[in-house]
Chains A and B, each alone.
Chain A
C-alpha cells in the first residue's frame, strides 16, 4: 500500500482547521491542496486531480451535499466528509449521494488518518488490488470465499457472507443501511430489521465476544463499519 504519495484536497472555509489539517496530514507525507469555497474546490479538482477530497459540509458558497454531486460528476475520487455530531441525517444523505466516509468534528488525528487510509485503500481495492481482509483474529479471503476466526473456519449463510463481503470490500468505511440493503437484497425498501437480524447472527460467528463486538461495529443512526 503506497498511499503516502497521495494528494489530498482539503475543502474547508475555516482557516484554523485548514491549517491544522495541512500540518497533520503533511507530517504523514500526503501532498496537500486547499480550497475555501466550493468553486475553488471544483477548479482545483479539474486541474490537479487529487486522490482524495476532505470536504466540510458547511461552505459559504454552495451546499456541501450539492457539491458532492458536482464532484462525483467530475470523477470517482473518494470523498471524506467533515461534519458535526447530532447531524446524522446529513451524514446519511452525504453517504448515499456518493461520499465515501465521514469524520465527526471535533476529531482526533488518528481517527482522521484511519478514515483517509480506508478511503484510499478502497480506491485501490476497486481496482482489484486487494480481495482479502485481516484484522486481529479475523481473516476473510473473498477470492477463495474463506472466513476464519483464529484458526477455525467459520461457516456463514449466503446472506451473512454477502453482508461480510460488502463490509470487506469497503473495509474501514461506514456502509449505510440503504447501501447494504441495495447490495445484498438488491432492494432498498426491505425492512432494515432483517439487516439487524443478520448482523447479529454474523457477529455471533465472527466476534469473540458478540456482546462487545470489535470488528462489525454499529455507527448509531447510520450503518455498519468493519475494522
Chain B
C-alpha cells in the first residue's frame, strides 16, 4: 500500500465504468462443472425454478437433457422457446432460435452448453456469441460449461485426459460472467452415475469414456474447476474492493508479454501465457516481431501465426505487431516501453544447427540481463514436422541459374587457362572463387554449391596434374573443394539474407508508396462522392478485390441506417444479406463476414473505419484471390488505407459543415440588410402616403386647392415608389429562388429602348434623356420583360444619383471583335460618379453608395437585379466612371442572336 495516495481511497473510475456497463447488460451466470454428468443442467433448471417462483420471467432457450429422466422432469413447467430446425448435409439440426428469444424478451433465458458450435449458416459460429447478443440486449442468461471447454485450460485438460475437445470458449467470455457457480460432485459419485448410464458425452467412444472417467482424471479435473472458481472468487473480491475503494494489497497492474511465433506450439504458448497472466492478475500483450524472415514463412507457418494471433485476441490479449531485425531487441524495447515484467516464449524443437545459425530467442532473452522474467512454454509432445529443409526453401526451381553457373565456371576456367599460360600463379584455384561468389550472391545456396562442384571438377580436370583427367591424387584437391564449398555456404547465406531484406524493404517501400500516393490523391478532393470513388478504386486495385463503401444516410437521426455509397466495380453484386452483414458490422463496431467470427459464411468481409471522433462507415471487401480470404498483410494495408480514408471523409464532411456555416453567416448578413431595407425604405413612402391621406381626410378645409393637390400628388408618387420597391423585392426573390427562366424572343434594340423610356418617363421627369440607337443593329435573342427591367433599373439608378436637370444618355451600339458580335447598351449620367471603393460592391444586394448622412431612397436592389437578369440572359454588365466628365457609366453587353 502506498499511504497518502488519495486515488486509493476513492473508487477507481475504471472500476465504476465497468460496473456501469454491466448495469445495462443482462446478468450472466455460468454453471461450471468439472466433467460431463455432474448435473450442471439440473442445477441450472433448479435455479431457474427458484427465480420463476420469485416472479421472474424465465424461458428455456435451449436445454439439453440427453434423455435423463430427472433432468427432463426438472425442465417441465418452464416455458421453452421452440428450436430452429436447420438442414445441414442431410442432417436435421436443432439450433437455438436467437431471434425468437430476442423477440420474446424474457427477463432470464436458459442457454445450455455454452461451448456449442452452431450449425453452418447461423448468424454466429459459436453459441457464446449468441449469449453475448442476448446479454447486450439486456436479457439475463444462465448457461453451463465444463472445465475442459475453457480455452486456456484446454490443453491442460487434454494432457490429463488424452482427449482434446474441439469446442472451446474464450476465457474473456467466462471471465465476463457476473457469477460462476461450481456444480461439484465427488469422483466416486460421478463414476456411480456413469455406471447407471446417466452420463452422456457427445462424440466420445465408450472405451475412451472409461479412461476419461478414471478416478485420477476426475480428481484432477475437479481440482481445475475448483481452482478456476476460486480464482474467480478472488477476482470478484478484488473488483469489489476497487469499486468500494478499499485499499488492499494488490499489485500494480502487471503486464505479461507473450511472443507470437509461427512454430507448431504457438497456440500452446499463448494459452500458457494466459494462465500466467491470470495467475498474476496481469494484463496480457501478444507481441509479434516481424523480421525479414517473415517473408520466408511457409503457408503452414503463416496459418499457425494467424491462428495464434486470433487466439490471443480471443483470450483478451492486446495484439501488437512491430517490425524489426532482431526479435530479442524488439521484445526488450517493447517490454521496457510497456513496463512489462514477464515474457512468455515458446521453445520450439529446432535443431541445434538452426540455433547456431539463427540464435535462440530464449537464450538471448535470458542472457540480455534486462531483469525480465522469461518464462518458457515447453512445446507439445509432437516434434516439428519434417518440412522441406530450411536451406532448400530458397532454391530456385528453374534451370536458368544452374546454366548460368556452367557458363561462369567455363569463363573462369578459360580465364585460368589464360593466366596459366602467361603467368606462373601458384594457386590458380582462386579463380574459381569468383563464379561461386556470383552464384551465391545472385541465386542462393544450392546453385552456388552446384558451381563449387563444377569448379572443383574443372580445376581438377584442367589444372591439376595429371592434366585432363579426373583423379584425386592430391590432398590439395580435397582442400580446394572444402574451401570452395565453405565460401558457397557463407556467401549464399549472406546473399539470401540480403535479398530477403531487400525484398522486404521493396515491399514496404511499395506499401508506403501506395499509401503516400493514396493520401496525395485524396488530399485535394472536396467532393464526398469523388473521394469515395477514389477510395474504392484504390482499394480494389491494392487488394485485388471488389470493394464497397457503406455509410450512414445523411440524416443523423437514422445513423444506424447504412446505405451503399460507392462500389468498385460499380456493378458489384451486393445482396440484402450482404447489406445486413454490413449493418451488423456498423452496429457492433467489429469486423464481420468472411474470415471473422461473426457471419463467417458471408461472401464479403466488412470492416469498420473510424476516426478518433466517431465511426465513419463500413468498407466491404470481396477478395478475388484464391482462397478468397484476405491475408494478414492485406488486412493491415486495408486498415491503414481505411484510417486515411476515414480521416479524409471526416475532413470533407467538416469542410461541408464550414461551407454551410459560411453560407449561413452570409444569409444572416443579407437577412439583416433586408430587414433594415424593408423597415426603412418601405416605411418611408408609407409614412408619406398615410400622412398625406390622413391630412386630406381630417383637415380638408384647412388647405387651399394647391396644397390639397400637392398632398394628393405626394401620396401618389410615394405609392408608385413603394410599388417599385415591392417589385424589386419580388424580382430579387425570384432571382434567389432560381426560378427565372428567360423566355427568349427576337428583340429590336430600338424597340427595347423606346418602350423602356416610356415606362421610365415618370421617374425621369426632370431629366433630359438623349437616346441614340446605332442603325442596322441586329435583333437580340432576349426576354423582353427582363431586358426592359434591366434598362429601367439602370435609368432609375441614373436618375437617383444625378442632379435634377442633368442629362441622361442611352446609347445602343455594336461591339465585340467580329462585326456585330455583341450589342452594348450604355447608360450615362452626370452625377458624382462612383467612389473607387464602391466599384467592387456596386452590384451587391442591399448595397447603396451612401455618402455621409445623405441616404438615397431605394432598396439597394436595382443594380443587383439588373446584374442577375443580365447574367440570366447570358450577358454581362459593368460599371465605371466617365472619362469625359464626372458621372457614372453602366454598360450592358448582350450577344447577338446567332
Write the residues of chain A forming the contact surface with B, with a CB cutoff of 8 angstroms: 85-86, 88-89, 106, 192-193, 196, 200, 210-213, 217-218, 220-221
Q: Determine whether the beta carbon of B771 is less than 8 Å from that of A211.
A: yes
B821 at the binding interface (Cβ < 8 Å): no
Task: Name the residue among B773, B785, B788 with the largest chain A CB count within 10 angstroms.
Answer: B785
CB distance from A183 to the nearest CB of B (A): 19
Interface pair B783/A86, CB less than 8 Å apart: no
Evaluate contact between B788 and A86: CB separation under 8 angstroms. Answer: no
Rounded to whole angstroms, the CA-CA distance of A85 and B788 in the bound complex is 13
B481 CB to nearest chain A CB (Å): 106
Size of B's binding interface in residues, CB under 8 A = 24
CA distance A213 to B773 in the complex (A): 14
Bound together, the chains give a CA A210 to CA B775 distance in angstroms of 12
Task: Tell whether, in the assembled complex, residue A220 and residue B755 are in contact, meaning their CB atoms are under 8 Å apart.
Answer: yes
Contact A211 B779 (CB under 8 A): no
Q: Are A213 and B754 in contact (CB under 8 A)?
A: yes
State which of B755, B779, B785 has its C-beta within 8 Å of the C-beta of A196: B779
B736-771 interface mask toward A, CB cutoff 8 Å, 1 = contact, 0 = none?
000000010110101101110110000000000001
Q: Which residue of B lies closest to A108 (CB)?
A: B716
Task: Please pick, from B727, B746, B750, the residue contacting A192 in the complex, using a CB distance under 8 A.
Answer: B746
Complex: A202 Cα to B887 Cα, angstroms: 37
Q: Are A212 and B748 in contact (CB under 8 A)?
A: no
Would you call B745 and A192 a contact (CB within 8 A)? yes
Choice from B743, B758, B771, B779 contacting A89 with Cβ under 8 Å: B743
- From 751 to 807 in chain B, residues with beta carbon under 8 angstroms from any chain A beta carbon are 751, 753-755, 757-758, 771, 773, 779, 783-785, 788
Residues of chain A within 8 A (CB-CB) of B785 are 86, 88, 220-221
B773 x A86 contact (CB < 8 A): no
| Shortest Cβ gap from B726 to chain A (Å) | 9
Docked Cα-Cα span, A85 to B727, in Å, equals 8
Write the nearest CB–CB distance from B361 to chain A, whole angstroms. 86
Give A216 Cβ to nearest chain B Cβ, in Å.
10
Nearest Cβ on chain B to A99's Cβ, whole angstroms: 19
Once the chains are docked, how many angstroms separate the CA of A6 from the CA of B668? 55
Cα distance A223–B788 when bound, in Å?
A: 14
Q: How far is the CA of A106 from the CA of B718 in the complex (A)?
A: 13
B10 interface residue (CB < 8 Å to A) = no
The answer to whether A212 and B745 have CB atoms under 8 Å apart is no
Q: Which residues of A contact B730 (CB under 8 A)?
A: 86
The 4 closest A-B pairs by CB, nearest first: A221-B785, A220-B784, A218-B755, A220-B785
Check if B261 is an interface residue, CB within 8 A of chain A: no
Say yes or no: B784 contacts A221, CB within 8 Å.
yes
Query: What secondary structure prevails in chain B residues at the interface with A?
Result: helix
Task: Determine the distance from Cα of A213 to Cα of B784 in the docked complex, in whole angstroms.
Answer: 17
Q: Cβ of B748 and Cβ of A200 under 8 Å apart?
A: yes
B500 CB to closest chain A CB (Å) equals 80
Task: Kindly supply a per-residue 1/0 record for chain B positions 529-564, scoring 1 wherever the CB is within 8 Å of any chain A CB and 0 otherwise.
Answer: 000000000000000000000000000000000000
Known: A220-B784, A221-B784. A86 touches B746 (CB 8 A): no
CA distance A217 to B754 in the complex (A): 9
* A-B pairs with beta carbons under 8 Å apart, 13 shown: A86-B731, A196-B748, A217-B755, A217-B758, A218-B751, A218-B754, A218-B755, A220-B755, A220-B785, A220-B788, A221-B745, A221-B783, A221-B784
Q: Please determine whether B743 and A193 come into contact, CB atoms closer than 8 angstroms.
A: no
Residues of chain B within 8 A (CB-CB) of A88 are 743, 785
- A210: chain B residues at CB < 8 Å are 750
**Cβ contact of B773, chosen from A85, A192, A211, A217, cutoff 8 A:** A211
Q: Find chain A residues with CB under 8 A from B743 CB.
A: 88-89, 221
Assembled-state Cα–Cα distance A210/B773 (Å): 11
A55 CA to B745 CA, complexed, in Å: 28
Chain A residue with the shortest CB-CB distance to B750: A211
Whole-angstrom distance between the Cβ of B775 and the nearest chain A Cβ: 10
The listed residue (A196, A213, A220) touching B746 by CB distance below 8 A is A196
Q: How far is the CA of A193 from the CA of B727 in the complex (A)?
A: 30
Given A211-B771, A221-B743, CB of A86 within 8 Å of CB of B734: yes
B723 within 8 A of A: yes
Check A211 against B723 for contact (C-beta < 8 Å): no
Which residues in A have their C-beta under 8 angstroms from that of B745? 192, 221
Residue of B with least CB distance to A87: B785
In the assembled complex, the Cα of A88 lies from the Cα of B788 at a distance in Å of 13
Write out the residue numbers on chain A whose beta carbons fall within 8 Å of the beta carbon of B753.
211
- Which residue of chain A lies nearest to B751 when distances are taken between CB atoms in the complex? A218
> A221: which B residues are within 8 A, CB to CB?
743, 745, 783-785
Contacts of A211 in B (CB 8 A): 750, 753-754, 771, 773
Are B746 and A193 in contact, CB atoms less than 8 angstroms apart?
A: yes
In the bound assembly, the distance between CA atoms of A221 and B779 in angstroms comes to 15
Identify the closest chain A residue to B753 (Cβ). Answer: A211
Contact residues of B between 701 and 732, Cβ < 8 Å to A: 719, 723, 727, 730-731
Q: Are A212 and B746 in contact (CB under 8 A)?
A: no
**Nearest-CB residue, chain B, relative to A84:** B730
**Complex formed: what's the CA distance from A90 to B784 in Å?**
16
For A192, list chain B residues within 8 Å (CB): 745-746
Shortest A85–chain B CB gap in Å is 6
Q: Provide the residues of chain B in CB contact with A212, threshold 8 Å.
A: 754, 757-758, 771
Q: Please indicate the chain B residues that have their CB under 8 angstroms from the CB of A86 in the complex.
A: 727, 730-731, 734, 785
Give the docked Cα–Cα distance between A85 and B726 (Å).
11
CA distance A176 to B730 in the complex (A): 26
CB-defined contacts of A220 to chain B, threshold 8 Å: 755, 784-785, 788
Which residues on the A side are within 8 Å of B784 (C-beta)? 218, 220-221
Shortest Cβ distance from B735 into chain A, in angstroms? Answer: 12
Report how far A66 CA is from B784 CA in the complex, Å. Answer: 27
Residue in chain B with minimal CB distance to A191 = B746
**0/1 per residue, B17-37, Cβ < 8 Å to A?**
000000000000000000000
Give the docked Cα–Cα distance between A211 and B755 (Å). Answer: 9
- Chain A residues near B731: list those with CB within 8 A: 86
The answer to whether B779 and A193 touch across the interface, beta carbons within 8 angstroms, is: yes
- Which of these, B723, B748, B757, contacts A106 with CB under 8 Å? B723
State A212–B758 Cα separation when bound (angstroms): 8
Bound complex: CA A195 to CA B784 (Å) = 15
Q: Given the complex of chains A and B, what is the CA–CA distance between A193 and B745 in angstroms?
A: 8
A205 CA to B783 CA in the complex, in Å? 27
Interface centre among B754, B758, B779 (most CB of A within 10 A): B754
Q: How far is the CA of A8 from the CA of B716 in the complex (A)?
A: 26
Supplied contacts A192-B746, A200-B750, A221-B784, 9 more A-B pairs, CB within 8 Å: A86-B785, A196-B746, A196-B748, A196-B751, A196-B779, A211-B750, A211-B773, A218-B784, A221-B743
- Shortest Cβ gap from B758 to chain A (Å): 7
**Distance, CA A97 to CA B239, complexed state (A):** 89
Closest to B726 in A: A106
Report how far A85 CA is from B731 CA in the complex, Å.
10
Q: Give the distance in Å from the alpha carbon of A86 to the alpha carbon of B728 in the complex.
A: 11
B779 partner residues in chain A, CB cutoff 8 A:
193, 196
Task: Collect the chain A residues with CB atoms within 8 Å of residue B783's CB.
Answer: 221
A172 → chain B closest CB, angstroms: 16
* Complex Cα gap A193–B781 (Å): 11
Q: How far is the CB of B759 from chain A (nearest CB, A)?
A: 9
Closest to B785 in A: A221
A62 and B719 CA atoms in complex are apart in Å by: 31
Contacts of B773 in A (CB 8 A): 211
The docked-state distance in angstroms from the alpha carbon of A43 to that of B746 is 43
A192 to B719 alpha-carbon distance, docked (Å):
37
Closest Cβ of chain A to B709, distance in Å, is 16
Minimum C-beta distance from A223 to chain B (A): 11
